[in-house]
Structure 1
């Protein structure tokens, strides 16, 4: 593309850095379209030089709807580097939507938001406060230094719920950056070295924008892991390690819902989106958690049995195993009349659909209890009566192929599952 063409594109799309980059990328991919983009740029520049006969209010609405991406506001405000930020944090490490260090800025006006600035001062990406669904501050597990990930979830960007047709081509993405606590000489006397001040700054902006949102931290009253943290003894852990397919990650059970992070695809299960929760492959050491939503089932595997009770209590506390409760929660979130409840039993609970009268959760609990009983029987096993035994637990679990053996930190491999549990029990 000749320099003159590039200059026209830069001038025409000067107010929207992201769109300008997309135009240049399209031209590089298909140089034959350079003339078309040049004509479009010339037309835009020509229109800008002519006085507009439209009413000011109508013109402003058109400008605000032009070029907004990933929740960004009008080019003249949030996406314009000329707009002054209220707080600025240079050298912030982002992991989503791009893995790179940028200058994090918070714009605290009603039309403000979060944005990332490149080395040249241009806005690389942004999200407006009015387009924010949730904000989380979650500790990063298994790090020698204390780190926290701030997660900004846009509306329709939870990775779980259906995306409207007009956003399917380019669905909104979460914004994730890492805050590392100050240590040693970096600690400033009288200042909180943790993420508190940054969270307070974000909360201030959310109030200024009138969103009614707040930064959500993990809470031991909601969930606390039963597994000790080997790298920091005595410190509480709020995460559960698991696998989504072959990808390892962490589940956080918060007051607003369940968060899966921190790599793509990040997912947030709002209470209103959860239709049911069930347990599968319940073994002696691990189990799988299946979260059912309107769009299908998402399974998280190889969760440590030590955290079963904590997760179970969380699920029961929020009624996540009851489909009728899910419909009611969705109705409350959408501010519409809730659906009629199922006929209640004598204890006030919704009548169970299965013939045995048990919920999926209760059946999983019974299965786990049976396994614990089997384990106690195995401990009482007398080697002298080997020939009279009806079969050891290792044989049955070898047939299932659901076992997993490995020390802490071993990489998970689905191909290694078969027979591993049996080997562990035979030793």
Structure 2
């Protein structure tokens, strides 16, 4: 009877494969052996079934995320618990370090534009194929060997795009700097979320020889549009929340022209952040320090104050204090850019004043002396009271120059060449001349004292009254 009981129990037990869970079927459709092992485990321990379902859903999401970045894959299926979304959307930068979300994302979005052999500098230093997809598009970079998409960002999550001339190059080139949300070096993404990486790629000045439309038609064959202009136009057609920003003569122009192209204006200022050398660009929407990773972009709304420090005869430092857009307390960050050429001081100072950025050069924490130009804390308007215009006009750089001149004047006054300057000689004198000059000085002082005294009256007393004045 015992044997019969055991045998009956074995017959009544459900077969492992009789279980059918949609999430597991979808996740392991391409791995039948793995799916069977999962069902076997659920049969042995039914209480773990919810755990395996969660693992299956997570696996499905990872698969779709990967396929969203790569070429269309025929076996990718849409989730069975709802219709496929028609639009690509980003959930707060969710993705494996690239800012792309794949929840309900179709992987077969057609290309609108692509350009081969584009040199990237950030986040990877390599040549990729630059691609833009249609609809609410994706800007991405594809590996030209493996055909895998390395990184990208949805266009509607791009906060700033800058098109800047590459400094100190013999041939004219342009850097496109793409700064997604929470990737400016100032604003961090919310907890638990990831941000897309900034991108920088370089375009040579000339026709777009490797640019194609989504259907493979080569673009720019007419020769009336440069590669830089073509990319800028296509980006502007897709961007809704921003536009491509370029340098403007009305904002800032360096006092020094391009070193290799003397006839062209330079829009950059060379500076150091610590030991890292880079370039500052003063633009209509903020200040960029690039082009090495990580980029730092100071939007006007994030700049707390700007000050000049370590002002020397030929260089000075620029200190930028920034505050995140969503600030919960004293979470300011200070960035120091050093070794800026003094020749660019006037242009930078004009830029700061034009945009109403606070000049904190005269703050007590940054100076050892006061020159009575600090306005009361909380005053509106330019730094310092406008009523004291003359005092405010003396900048930190001008103050340092004046102090240097004053010191030189003091040194000249303290210097004694050995003559009182009244001699008509060659400017040198012997010890005898010095003694004679010294005696002469004493005689002059005695003469001045004697002029104040009536010596005749002192000697003769009342008898002096009987002597005629013409005989004295």
Match of 1:204 in 2: 237
1:74 is aligned, of 98, 102, 125, to 102
- Equivalents in 2 of 1:52, 1:113: separation in Å? 22
> Do structure 1's residue 308 and structure 2's residue 345 form an aligned pair?
yes
- 1:201, 1:307 → 2: CA distance? 34
User: Are residues 349 and 97 of structure 1, via their aligned partners in 2, closer, same or farther at CA, if it must alter by over 3 Å?
Assistant: closer
Q: Is 2:257 aligned against 1:233?
A: no
C-alpha change, 1:381 and 1:131, in structure 2 (3 Å) is same
Give the equivalent residue in structure 2 for 1:284.
313
Note if 1:90 corresponds to 2:123.
no
- Secondary structure, in 3 states, of the residue corresponding to 1:166? coil
* Distance change >3 Å, CA 387–CA 152, structure 1 → 2: farther
**Cα pair distance change 1:74/1:386, threshold 3 Å:** farther
Matches within 5 A, 1:324-363: 342-344=378-380, 349=382, 363=395
- Secondary structure of 2:289's counterpart equals strand
Could you tell me which of 328, 334, 343 is aligned with 1:297? 334
2:165 counterpart residue number: 139
Residues 1-20 of structure 1: CA deviation (Å, up to 9, x unaligned): xxxxxxxxxx9699xxxxxx
**Alpha-carbon distance in structure 2 between the residues aligned to 1:173 and 1:362:** 42
Cα distance in structure 2, aligned partners of 1:198 and 1:130: 17
Q: Which residue of 2 aligns with 1:125?
A: 151
Tell me, in whole angstroms, the C-alpha distance in 2 between the residues paired with 1:144 and 1:166. Answer: 45
- Contact kept, 8 Å, 1:342 with 1:351, in 2: the verdict is no
The aligned length equals: 322
TM-fit CA distance, 1:321: 1.4
The SS at the match of 1:308 is: helix
How far is the alpha carbon of 1:70 from its aligned partner? 3.0
Distance 1:171 1:73, change over 3 A: closer
**Partner Cα separation in structure 2 for residue 387 and residue 197 of structure 1:** 75
Give 1:60 shift. 8.2
Q: Distance in 2 between matches of 1:368 and 1:268?
A: 30
Q: 1:370 aligns with which of 402, 415, 419?
A: 402
Give 1:317's aligned residue: 354
* 1:114 equivalent in structure 2: 139
Could you list the per-position Cα deviations for residues 275-308 of structure 1 after superposition, in whole angstroms to 9, with x for gaps in the alignment? Answer: 1000011111000000011232100000000000
**Contact 1:284–1:371 (CA under 8 A) maintained in structure 2:** no
Does residue 173 in structure 1 map to residue 197 in structure 2? yes
1:221 and 1:62 map into 2 onto residues whose CA distance is 39
Q: Between 96-105 and 65-74, report the one with greater CA deviation.
A: 65-74
Q: Counterpart of 1:411?
A: none
1:74-96 deviations in Å (ceiling 9; x for gaps): 37758x4x322111101111111
Give the whole-Å Cα distance in 1 for the aligned partners of 2:300 and 2:308: 18
Q: How big is the alpha-carbon RMSD for the aligned residues of Structure 1 and Structure 2?
A: 4.4
Tell me how far apart the structure 2 counterparts of residues 63 and 235 of structure 1 sit (CA, whole Å). 42
Do the aligned partners of residues 159 and 189 (structure 1) sit closer, same or farther apart at CA in structure 2, a change above 3 Å counting?
A: same
Q: Please say if residues 259 and 268 of structure 1, whose CA atoms lie closer than 8 Å, have aligned partners that are also in contact.
A: yes
Please say if 1:157 is aligned against 2:210.
Answer: no
Change (3 A) 1:40 1:200: same
Q: Structure 1: which 5+ runs fail to align? A: 1-10, 15-35, 324-340, 389-427
1:52 and 1:73 mapped to 2: Cα distance?
15
Flag the structure with larger Rg: 2
In 1, Cα distance between equivalents of 2:78 and 2:140: 32
- In the TM superposition, what is the alpha-carbon distance from 1:127 to its structure 2 partner? 0.5
User: Partner of 1:18 in structure 2?
Assistant: none
- 8 Å Cα contact 1:275-1:322 kept in structure 2: no
Alignment partners' CA distance in 1, 2:302 and 2:176:
22
Question: Relative to 1, partners in 2 of residues 1:148 and 1:372: Cα closer, same or farther, differing over 3 Å?
Answer: farther
CA gap of 1:141–1:387, structure 2 versus 1, over 3 A, is farther
Cα distance in structure 1, aligned partners of 2:275 and 2:418: 41
Deviations 1:33-85 (A, max 9, x none): xxx99x9569846999999774538x88999657475332437758x4x3221
Change (3 A) 1:278 1:45: closer
Q: Report the CA distance shift for 1:42/1:265 in structure 2 as closer, same or farther (over 3 A).
A: closer
Give the 5 Å matches for 1:35-74.
Answer: 40=55, 44=59, 54-56=81-83, 65=91, 67=95, 69-74=97-102
Whole-Å Cα distance in 1 between the matches of residues 176 and 89 of structure 2? 31
Contact 1:279/1:364 (8 A) holds in 2: yes
